[in-house]
Chains A and B, each alone.
Chain A
Amino acid sequence: MSNEVAILGVGMHPWGKWGRSFVEYGVKAAKDALLDASIEWKDVQFVAGGDTIRNGYPGYVAGATFAQALGWQGAQVASSYGACASGSQAIATARAQILAGLCDVALVVGADTTPKGFFAPTGGGDRSKDPDWLRFRLVGATNPVYFGLWARRRMELFGATEEDFAKVKVKNSHHGAQNPNARYPKTFSMEEVLASPMVSDPLRLLQICATSDGGAALVLTSMEYARKHATDFVTIPAVSNVTPKYPNTLIEMPNFSTDSGAGVQMPDVPFRPSIAKHAYEQAGVGPEDMDLAEVYDLSSALELDWYEIIGLCKEGEAEKLIRDGDTSIGGRIPVNTSGGLGAFGEAIPAQAIAQVCELAWQLRGQAQGRQVEAAQLGITANYGLFGHGSSVIVKR
């Protein structure tokens, strides 16, 4: 396939609440990825950084920040911000450089240090033109409020229950307990999840992802370079960073309203399903070809939405998948074998990269304790507020 790039190295700094600089996490992940690839830092030609907006200026220029911390060596650089999709934008940037023939070896890094508690708008002062500031001011619409709206919609439309949502958290906690990079090694029972305090009905504390510190990195190379320097590697045949098509009629962060769906033709595919569709089309594969998936469980209920968005089942059937154990390791199509956000918490610019790390480890047969047998093909999916789609397909 002509649009493939190779993943020669993956690396992570464990997720947690370490309270140190994001730069340290990113550099640790980068060094691990370079070691995994058997590539020297001085041989990297392009650095793509995923930005963090809660760590001052160095966070806005993450690519250069990591390059400086690794030791200036003259590589070209780019930094991307796309909220939760920042990491996959960095992957897309590095991939485009490689596919255009502008470089052979690229390093992708994302890392974050996060504050405690709810994410609040960044920056100070009255910002009455900024929807991200206004949604807190006028409605108190925190991120979990939007997660709660989507979760309740599933209950109203498809008869989802609190138990269904709790099952997702229980599953992901069992997966994450086998992952040394996950923040929470603890396995949770249904009773514990359902006894945790309600935050935004129907979602309880243990069903909403925490904010974490962490870092993830990839060494991407051209296929030609990979064939010369490695014998066994996985590849990326597709990266999707689509935006919605007008009108977008799903209420999403940080908006007060949707577009108006009156008097205009609706898009052929709504925004969320279009994210995976674009990736599948690039790779020339379909959901039936997938062996596993890493999806963005900002809440346990949202994981069920993703089953449908990436085509693992029809709309309204996700509850059956979780009830039947289809998405557990050992099931028909394991989802979030890493433990997902439920076990990691969210380190925004690192997260989409971490999803790819997990698929790489799985496809290389190195996911000790949580291995999906003979996995050949996997998909990641997430999306960031302000309309950022994100999906990456990884292939053995």
Chain B
Amino acid sequence: MRRAQVGKVLAGVILFGIIFAVMRLTAGERTATMPLEGGIRDVLAPVQAAATQAGRIVYEGLGTLFSLGRAARVEQLEKQVRQLEGKVAELNEYKVENERLRRLLAFREETRDRYELLAADVIARDPGNWFGTITVDRGAADGVRPYMPVLLPEGLVGRVLRVSQHTAEVLLITDPHSGVGGVVQETRTPGVLRGIVNSYGRLRMTYLAKDAPVKKGHTVVTSGLGGMFPGGIPVGKITAVRPEPTGVTKEAFVEPLVNFGHVEEVLIMLRVTPGG
């Protein structure tokens, strides 16, 4: 091999090594953006917001044009159904909790009344297809901090991953990095909800006891274990249950209540109000 060729190969290996090292360094859960990264995001935020808004208008306009309004109406009704399902799950959660604890508790207002919530618009999404993150137009300047839960009336959306001054990146529960402590509402069976891949589709609920009476149609809510998410936030409905490959436990597939394809605004839980 000639010297020039050896040099090229060596340069390639060094470049690969440097990029791989940067990948490793940024693979963990960074809670803040790097200065350059944060600056670029803040500068791009208004452009992304405008582009997303334009896309939304075109998408909705085309939908109305091609279906003479039917598709838009169906989507609106589907959204209402999901919201009501989330509401039912929320109310059931209170009922089950009350029964289980056998204590007389004053019926609390809706779950979101217990939290201080901040509304934020979705301005961008992960440009790729492997992960599920969204960027919202609220950041450190608005009091947003990493690990804050993010939700919608229908159910849990995810949590704040990292923040720049005026934007925040939200890790969706469908992302393969995501792990949420969950519990099957009807049977109180605990498990861990993990994203599969991409920002769409199902979740996998693992570590369910082999003999747990979990079945299709059951509702999954957050367990509150781990301290990241308050308990009782609706997550989704079980669509299938099967034994895990090891045979020791079983796993369930969960369809999220939130339609992640059409999330336009989210609520960031700044804090749980005292007594909540």
A-B interaction: no
What is B's interface to A at a CB cutoff of 8 Å? none
